[in-house]
């Protein structure tokens, strides 16, 4: 490796990391939090068999999971202006990522809810609790514990998926890297560099996941 | 007047008739043992009383108040459930709650009892079933017998008028049934009204005040335990006793009560 390349890599490192901290991570955290809210509601509506809402939930999941994330980004950012709806890049990205991720997480949470034995619900009824009380205090906590590893998986995927936001002009890590790369004509080195930064982020998350799993324990089970 | 009267319950699952007009009356302080082969409808009967299953037809008269089982309102269901407690075959303790929290959950959440008061009551109930020292344990850290005793404490805490037991010892290893049965015996002595679906013939014989024998979705015989075990009226009751007591002759089972 020549000196020039080393200098470029060193100089670009903070320039790439900074949008990682100020864009990629906020985009991920905000979108994933919203996704979880959407997912819990969508999962409960299906699990509890709420009429009409359940059909809406199934339709939502069907559409979102059946279309590419990149296309969804284009529809919202480049398509909606045709209807007179203009959204800034960052809100567009949050909207698409949370709706997209919400559909996947909903299925994870629904499956986890269904894995909770029916007796837990019946026992709740027998001590006089209402369905929503049982859901909030008994079923959902157990389901979220079961879903935790899968949801962590989804979160890790999402960190990497945010690179797609470069396509709708969000100045996140990958976009910044592309610019630096084309200025210096060092595509291989710089794309590997940004890949390593994504890897770093995901490594931290993986560590957090195993810490979280231990912390949550399994209610006394080792 | 009977405390609880069940009138003409009918229930079918997917066209298969499980209860074909069951009527039963329970006096305050009664310990009714419901016996019968599996599939005879005993458990379904119990579950219909507590609305865990919706009966197709039939009525419940509880403290003089009549509730139709098929189209009871949410309010009626809540009122009946408030007066009853249910002990499940597989305990069904809340897995994300400690033993104490299992007992207090319903008090705090459903009955709006202040936490401190609920915890004091919860500890008293756990003491009663000999589980106070395990108050902070999660269900997964307890044996089956211990879990079932916590489940009984959970039922007792809501001060029910009647406790419905659905084969409370059937999921337990034989050496663990004794601790649960002795708690139930103690409750019976204290005058608790109990409806017990069981395969424990010794419990039925020695503790119950009435034996109900079910087969194919109907009650075939209703007798005092001494009469039922000495001279059952029905040929089918006799056949049932022959099979069951034949099995029970193993020494392990006799120790349990």
Give the pLDDT of residue A220.
67
CB spacing of B105 vs A137 below 8 angstroms: yes
| A125–B52 CB contact, under 8 Å | yes
Average pLDDT of every residue of chain B: 92
Mean pLDDT score of chain A, rounded to an integer? 94
Q: How far is B55 from chain A (nearest CA, A)?
A: 16
Q: Is the pLDDT of residue B176 over 80?
A: yes
Instruction: Indicate the DSSP class of residue A167.
Output: G
Model pLDDT, residue B253: 43
pLDDT band at A218 (very low <50, low <70, confident <90, very high): low
Q: Exposed/middle/buried for B81, CB within 10 Å: 0-12, 13-18, 19+?
A: buried
Query: What percent of chain B has pLDDT above 90?
Result: 85
Q: What is the ipTM of this complex?
A: 0.90
Contact (CB<8Å) B92/A133 = no
Strand B210-215: give its sheet, edge to edge.
B84-87, B162-166, B193-197, B31-35, B210-215, B218-223
HSE-CB of A217 using CA atoms within 13 angstroms:
10
Rounded to an integer, the average pLDDT of B121-132 is: 96
Question: Which residues of chain A have a CB within 8 Å of the CB of B137?
Answer: 220
Rounded to the nearest angstrom, the minimum Cα separation between B89 and chain A is: 10
Q: What is the least distance, in Å, from the CA of B250 to any CA of chain A?
A: 32
Contacts of A127 in chain B (CB under 8 A): 85, 105-106, 110, 154, 158
Burial of B37 (0-12, 13-18, 19+ CB in 10 A): middle
Distance of alpha carbon A110 from alpha carbon A96, whole angstroms: 21
Report DSSP state, residue A160. Answer: H
- CB–CB contact A219 B109 (8 Å): no
pLDDT, tens only, B63-75: 989 999 999 999 9
Alpha-carbon radius of gyration of chain B = 18
The C-alpha atoms of residue B104 and residue B116 are separated, in whole angstroms, by 10
For residue B3, which of B217, B193, B137 has the smallest C-alpha distance?
B193
Beta-bridge partners for B247: none
Cα–Cα distance measured from residue A80 to residue B51, given in angstroms and rounded to the nearest whole number: 51
Give residues with Cβ within 8 angstroms of B125, minimum separation 6: B103, B153, B154, B156, B157
Q: What is the mean pLDDT of residues B129-157?
A: 96
- The CA distance from A94 to A25, in Å, is 12
Instruction: Collect all residues from B whose CB is shorter than 8 A from any CB in A.
Output: 50-52, 78, 81-82, 84-86, 88, 90, 92-97, 105-106, 109-111, 137-141, 154-155, 158
pLDDT at B203 over 80: yes
- The C-alpha atoms of residue B84 and residue B63 are separated, in whole angstroms, by 12
Is A128–B92 a contact, with Cβ atoms under 8 angstroms apart?
A: no
How high is the pLDDT of residue A117? 96
Are A207 and A152 in contact, with CB atoms under 8 Å apart? no
**Model confidence pLDDT, tens digit, residues A72-114:** 999 999 999 999 999 999 999 999 999 999 999 999 999 999 9
| CA-wise closest residue to A126 among B83, B101, B31, B97 | B83
Q: What is the pLDDT of residues A17-26, one digit of tens each?
A: 999 999 999 9
């Amino acid at each position: 490796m020549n000196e020039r390349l080393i200098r470029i890599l060193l100089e670009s490192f903070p320039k790439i990391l900074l949008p990682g901290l100020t864009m990629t991570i906020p985009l991920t955290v905000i979108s994933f939090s919203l996704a979880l809210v959407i997912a819990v509601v969508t999962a409960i509506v299906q699990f509890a068999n709420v009429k009409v809402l359940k059909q809406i939930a199934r339709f939502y999941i069907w559409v979102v999971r059946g279309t590419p994330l990149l296309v969804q980004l284009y529809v919202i950012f480049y398509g909606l202006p045709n209807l007179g709806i203009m959204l800034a890049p960052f809100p567009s990205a949050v909207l698409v990522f949370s709706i997209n991720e919400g559909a996947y997480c909903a299925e994870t949470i629904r499956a986890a809810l269904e894995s909770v034995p029916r007796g837990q619900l019946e026992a709740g009824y027998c001590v006089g609790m209402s369905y929503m009380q049982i859901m909030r205090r008994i079923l959902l906590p157990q389901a979220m514990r079961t879903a935790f590893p899968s949801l962590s998986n989804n979160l890790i995927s999402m960190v990497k998926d945010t690179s797609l936001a470069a396509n709708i002009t969000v100045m996140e890590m990958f976009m910044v890297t592309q610019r630096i790369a084309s200025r210096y004509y060092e595509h291989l080195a710089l794309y590997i560099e940004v890949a390593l930064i994504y890897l770093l982020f995901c490594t931290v998350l993986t560590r957090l996941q195993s810490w979280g799993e231990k912390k949550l324990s399994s209610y006394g089970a080792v | 007047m009977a405390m609880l009267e069940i009138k003409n319950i009918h229930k079918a699952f997917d066209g298969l008739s499980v209860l074909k007009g069951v009527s039963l009356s329970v006096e305050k302080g009664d310990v009714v043992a419901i016996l019968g082969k599996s599939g005879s409808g005993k458990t379904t009967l119990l579950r219909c009383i507590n609305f865990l299953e919706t009966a197709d037809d039939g009525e419940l008269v509880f403290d003089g108040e009549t509730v139709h089982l098929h189209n009871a309102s949410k309010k009626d269901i809540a009122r009946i459930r408030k007066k009853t407690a249910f002990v499940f075959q597989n305990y069904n303790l809340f897995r994300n709650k400690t033993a104490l929290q299992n007992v207090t959950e319903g008090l705090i959440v459903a009955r709006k009892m202040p936490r401190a008061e609920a915890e004091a009551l919860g500890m008293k109930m756990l003491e009663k079933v000999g589980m106070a020292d395990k108050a902070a344990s999660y269900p997964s850290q307890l044996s089956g017998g211990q879990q079932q005793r916590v489940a009984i404490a959970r039922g007792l805490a809501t001060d029910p008028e009647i406790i419905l037991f659905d084969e409370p010892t059937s999921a337990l290893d034989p050496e663990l049934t004794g601790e649960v049965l002795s708690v139930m015996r103690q409750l019976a002595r204290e005058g608790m009204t109990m409806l017990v679906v069981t395969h424990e013939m010794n419990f039925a014989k020695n503790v119950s005040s009435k034996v109900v024998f079910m087969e194919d979705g109907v009650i075939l015989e209703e007798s005092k335990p001494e009469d039922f075990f000495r001279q059952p009226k029905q040929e089918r009751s006799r056949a049932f006793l022959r099979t069951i007591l034949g099995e029970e002759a193993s020494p392990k089972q006799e120790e349990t009560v």
